[in-house]
């Protein structure tokens, strides 16, 4: 942490010690020095979470790992009787994965404030506020409204899962080329966004092994599986290495891996990503399409069905 000393009028010895410790912790990674200025029972209040002293120390180490050029400058200090407010700006380049975010190589600059309350010589608790949305946006992973959901008040996961099981979808394999190696996963969270321009979206969990390749790619392929490709769906719904060794596939016009025998395929240019909690929504522009007219594989209630055997609904209601 760099202190902009010209603007600071630090009078209290506790504030001076706090600033020194923060500088050493954030600037040099000497996190243990925080033990001298933060109470053992210290609590840090974030927007939705609480951190203990040890958790704060661990998060500083983790941030410095992901943002090796991290700087934190205190621009203004306001001291009260037992409180101090620090107004700061932090900068860093995301060169390694961080809290599920991929290493985008992008730099953020965010301003915030920390309000600390002393108990004796040490800080008992503090609250921190900063422009979290702006920070993620500049790192190339803009937050969607989904991050604002209060998880406790949302419907329970069993009820939501049961609802999802009532949906009927096709099954796609989303794939990309990573340094010559084809990588992909089964995805049914696929939707058309618009026809003009031709935009589609897919939703991929961030702990997928394909994720880091997908987010770094310029193009990805979407193969809508045919009814006789349940085995293919099963291969791509696992985490095994070299999934493409087990299937017949080819490269499309843009070089993306596409599955032979799929009902339809599209090659998509990645346009945007929206970071939504455990998942990321990828929005892409369709650059090329092809099709075989083979009946599609259908997925509902956790089971696969033959899309060639569907009965038109008019026949049932007539």
Asked if 2 touches ligand FMN (CB under 6 A), the answer is no
Minimal distance, residue 312 CB to ligand FMN, in Å: 24
Cα angle: 148, vertex 63, 15; to 5 degrees: 95
- Among 216, 237, 254, 270, contact with ligand FMN (rule: CB under 6 A): 237
Q: b/e string for 150-187 if b means 16 or more Cβ within 10 A?
A: eeeeeeeeeeeeeeeeeeebbbbbbbbbeeeebbbbbb
* Shortest spacing between CB 255 and ligand FMN, in angstroms: 20
Give the residue with the Cβ less far from ligand FMN, 124 or 233.
Answer: 233
Q: Please report the beta strands in 120-179, taking only residues with DSSP state E, as ranges in sequence order.
A: 122-130, 169-170, 172-178
Instruction: Check residue 297 for interaction with ligand FMN (CB under 6 A).
Output: no
Nearer to ligand FMN, 27 or 295 (CB): 295
HSE-up (13 A, CA, CB side) for residue 209: 12
Residue of 209, 246, 278, 292 interacting with ligand FMN (CB under 6 A): 209
Contact with ligand FMN (CB under 6 A) among 90, 116, 176, 208: 208
Cα angle 199-190-307, degrees, rounded to a multiple of 5: 120
Which position among 161, 165, 218, 239 is part of the footprint of ligand FMN (CB under 6 A)?
Answer: 239
Map the footprint of ligand FMN across residues 10-49, applying CB under 6 A: none
Q: What distance in Å separates the CA atoms of residue 59 and residue 65, rounded to the nearest whole number?
A: 10
Q: Where are the beta strands (DSSP E) in 238-296?
A: 249-251, 257-259, 264-276, 279-291
Nearest approach in angstroms of CB 168 to ligand FMN is 11
Residues that bind ligand FMN (CB under 6 A): 171, 185-189, 203-205, 208-210, 233, 236-239, 299
């Amino acid at each position: 942490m760099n202190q902009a000393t010209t603007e600071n009028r630090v009078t209290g010895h506790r504030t001076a010690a706090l600033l020194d410790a923060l500088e050493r912790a954030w600037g040099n990674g000497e996190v243990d020095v925080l033990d001298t200025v933060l109470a053992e029972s210290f609590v840090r209040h974030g927007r939705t979470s609480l951190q203990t002293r040890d958790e704060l120390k661990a998060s500083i180490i983790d941030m410095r790992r992901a943002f090796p050029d991290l700087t934190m400058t205190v621009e203004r200090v306001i001291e009260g009787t037992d409180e101090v407010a620090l107004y700061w700006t932090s900068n860093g380049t995301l060169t390694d994965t961080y809290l599920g975010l991929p290493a985008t190589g992008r730099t953020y600059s965010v301003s915030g404030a920390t309000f600390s309350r002393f108990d004796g010589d040490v800080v008992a608790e503090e609250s921190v506020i900063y422009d979290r949305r702006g920070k993620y946006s500049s790192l190339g992973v803009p937050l969607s409204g989904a991050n604002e959901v209060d998880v406790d008040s949302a419907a329970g996961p069993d009820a939501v899962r049961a609802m999802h099981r009532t949906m009927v979808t096709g099954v796609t394999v989303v794939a990309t080329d990573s340094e010559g190696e084809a990588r992909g996963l089964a995805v049914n969270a696929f939707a058309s966004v618009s026809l003009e321009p031709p935009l589609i979206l897919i939703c991929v969990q961030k702990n997928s092994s394909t994720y880091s390749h997908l987010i770094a790619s310029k193009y990805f392929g979407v193969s809508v599986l045919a009814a006789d490709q349940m085995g293919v769906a099963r291969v791509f719904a696992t985490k095994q290495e070299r999934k493409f060794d087990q299937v017949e596939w080819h490269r499309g016009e843009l070089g993306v891996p596409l599955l032979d025998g799929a009902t339809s395929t599209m090659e998509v240019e990645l346009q945007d990503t929206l970071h939504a909690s455990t998942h990321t929504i990828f929005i892409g522009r369709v650059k090329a399409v092809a099709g075989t007219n083979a009946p599609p594989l259908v997925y509902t209630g956790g089971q696969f069905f033959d899309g060639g055997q569907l009965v038109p609904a008019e026949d049932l209601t007539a």
